[in-house]
Every structure is written in structure tokens, then in C-alpha cells.
Structure 1
Amino acid sequence: MKMNQVCYYKSINFIGKVMFLVVLALPRFDELGNEIFSEKFGVFPFVTQEAAKRSSVNRPAGIMETKRMTGVKRETIKSYMVEKLIPAIKEKWPVEDIDCPILIQQDNARTHIDVNDVEFHQAAQKMVLIYI
């Protein structure tokens, strides 16, 4: 969803909720106390693009609409981590710390991937990632 996109709802009781995967890192400081690294790696909304099935006053049929994902499952979380999280970390991680281990921490939600997930470990092999 674009940041400047405005959504209109007919009722305040039916506003859709969107889940996000947010990736942050702790700031790093040099010996003088200057911040040398404070990075937001990315905010990834769980949305899909679907073609409108019918025409309405607001848009013709076939126009791509942003829809929220309902029932985010473990496979969706894993695909977001492999396809979006790891490339974002690779792109923005400081060069001087490239050989240091990177810890990825999740809460205890049932949808999060397992610590011993083979596909995630294969994708993380290219970087020094530790998943906890």
C-alpha cells in the first residue's frame, strides 16, 4: 500500500487490519558517541494485489486493488523472511560487521518458522545468520 494512498470506509466498524513484518537493528556508536549505524531494514505489509472483479463508481473492473491477507500462515511468514528479510539485511548491513553473526528474534506466535527450518537455513547460509 502506498503511503499517500487514502482508503475510505463506509463504516468505522469495518476497518480492515493489516499485519506487518518490521525489521530493525540496534544503533551502533563510535568511541565519540556519534551514531554510525541505526537502520530500519524494512516494513513489509502482508497484502496482495488482486484485480477488481466488478466495476463500481470508484473504479472499473480489472484494476489492481491492494487487499489485506487474511489468515497469515507459517508458509507466508517463511516466504517473507526468505524473499524479503534476508535480502534487506544483506543490502543494508554494515560492511565492517559482515562476518559477525546476526540474530533474528521472533516472539512465540504459532505462525513463526521453526528454529530448524531447512529452507530458511539454506537461504541464511550465504550470510552469517543465527535464528533464535
Structure 2
Amino acid sequence: MSKRFLPKTMFLAAVARPRYDLHRKCCWNGKLGLWPLSQEYIAQRSSCNRPKGTVCTRNIEVVNRAVYKDFLI
């Protein structure tokens, strides 16, 4: 990671049409969820910023059909 080339994180969003429920007498805004397409890993070496064994987050570089399927199911 460098200052010049900043990583871009892709998100998977699920939305629906806003609806009004007559039985509950309330309005649902239609938002289901927003998930980052990233994976967690355990740091194998320690550095000045974190100790060994810390759970870190990394972007998924290639998002294809298999990755979308894993996130949806």
C-alpha cells in the first residue's frame, strides 16, 4: 500500500422498494444491507503497527461470479 496508489473497496448492496405495512402500521425504508467485498486474515509477522496474530482486513482484488456467489449464499 502506498500514498500514490490508494486501494479501492467494492461494496455489495441489497435494496428493495420501500413499502408500508398495513398490519403493523409502519413504513419500511427498503434497505437490506451493505457488505464490503473484503476478506480477513491473520498477520503472520509482527510490525511496528501491530503484533503477530492480529486479524487484518484485505480487499478482494478480483470480483467474479464465484466471489459474488459466496457473498450471496
With normalisation by structure 1, the TM-score equals 0.47
Aligned to 2:50: 59
Question: CA separation in 2, counterparts of 1:65 and 1:19?
Answer: 17
Aligned to 1:123: none
Q: Secondary structure at the match of 1:23?
A: strand
Amino acid at match of 1:20: F
Aligned to 1:14: 5
Amino acid at match of 1:38: N
Aligned to 1:39: 30
Question: CA separation in 2, counterparts of 1:21 and 1:41?
Answer: 11
- 1:11-47 Cα deviation digits (max 9, x unpaired): 1x222111111001111247xxx97221211111111
Question: CA separation in 2, counterparts of 1:55 and 1:15?
Answer: 23
Question: CA separation in 2, counterparts of 1:55 and 1:14?
Answer: 24
Unaligned segments of structure 1, at least 5 residues: 1-8, 83-132
Give the structure with the higher percent helix: 1
Unaligned segments of structure 2, at least 5 residues: none
With normalisation by structure 2, the TM-score equals 0.79
Q: Secondary structure at the match of 1:14?
A: coil
- 1:27-82 Cα deviation digits (max 9, x unpaired): 1247xxx9722121111111111111221111012211011111112111012112
Aligned to 1:28: 19
Flag the structure with more relative contact order, 1 or 2, with Cα contacts below 8 A and sequence separation at least 6. Answer: 2
Q: Among the aligned pairs, what percent are the same residue? A: 34
Question: CA separation in 1, counterparts of 2:60 and 2:2?
Answer: 20
Would the aligned equivalents of 1:27 and 1:35 in 2 still touch at CA under 8 Å?
Answer: no
Across the two proteins, how many residue pairs are aligned to each other?
Answer: 71
Would the aligned equivalents of 2:19 and 2:30 in 1 still touch at CA under 8 Å?
Answer: no
